[in-house]
Amino acid sequence: MTNIEKKKALQELRKASTRLEESYYLTLEEIGDLKNNYIDYMTTAPVNVDDELRRLSDADYELCTALLTMLLREDYFSNGAFERRYDRGQVTPILEKMIKLL
């Protein structure tokens, strides 16, 4: 998938209003950027989501995809966590940075 196609798919996520976790998961999977090895990109062990999110300002595209995957995995372990973080404004900045970097 080209960067232009990835960018378009990510821009479509801005319109998602329901089933956010599923929409983000499927889109990352579709564009080939779901990081099953996201933990390899993390600097904390066990993963401290809030500390890892502080790295966004210096993140490259790969780290952004790992951070987004991390939030999706957090939701797996704590159902509803992704939407709570979305509502707190912690997801959109990652998405916007990914779009900008493409």
Mean pLDDT by 10 residues, the chain (102 residues): 96 88 96 97 96 98 98 83 94 98 97
Question: How far is residue 61's CA from residue 50's CA, in Å, rounded to a whole number?
Answer: 19
d(CA 52, CA 22): 22
What's the whole-model pTM score?
0.93
pLDDT tens per residue across span 52-75: 999 999 999 999 999 999 999 997
pLDDT reported for residue 56 = 98
How far apart are the C-alpha atoms of 21 and 82, rounded to whole Å?
Answer: 6
